[in-house]
Amino acid sequence: MTTSTVKRVHIGDLHNDHKLWLNTLDFCKQEIDILEHRMEEIAKRNTHTDVMAELEHFQNQYIRQREVIDELRHELKLHENGLVKEALDNPVAIDHRLFGDHTAHRDAMHTFEKLYSELKAEFMRWLAKRM
């Protein structure tokens, strides 16, 4: 596929991607809440300066992850709203039309999932070292 070739997909495929990605983002946000609760437990038991600095590092990373989640959710919802408008404006033809694949959203989600997974793994290694 050349750079000028855009993959064409059905609206249902785009919608399903959105649902999957939004669920993934919701799950990650809930998981961050759990991980932060774990950090609070550790902070209560261990107030050494080095431990607190390490916890602050993770806290800052989780704050940033929440911001990215909110940004991605917003972008996905905007795209979904555009698809809904298109479906309402063209109800008969919508199932037969092909749309450009949302490659930028797919790439952004892939990057988010990779970085989030790496952060979580780093935190789990840190927990294992500190326990």
Query: For the CA atoms of the chain, what is the radius of gyration?
Result: 20
pTM comes to: 0.87
Torsion angle of the four alpha carbons 31, 32, 34, 37, in this order, in degrees rounded to the nearest 10: 180
Task: Give 45-63 pLDDT, tens digit per residue.
Answer: 988 999 999 999 999 999 9
**Where along the chain do its domains lie?**
8-130
The mean pLDDT of 70-93, rounded to a whole number, is 91
Q: In the structure, what pLDDT confidence band is assigned to residue 91 with cuts at 50, 70 and 90?
A: confident
Give the C-alpha separation, 109 to 70, whole Å: 12
Residues above pLDDT 70, as percent of the chain: 96
Three-class SS of residue 42? Answer: helix
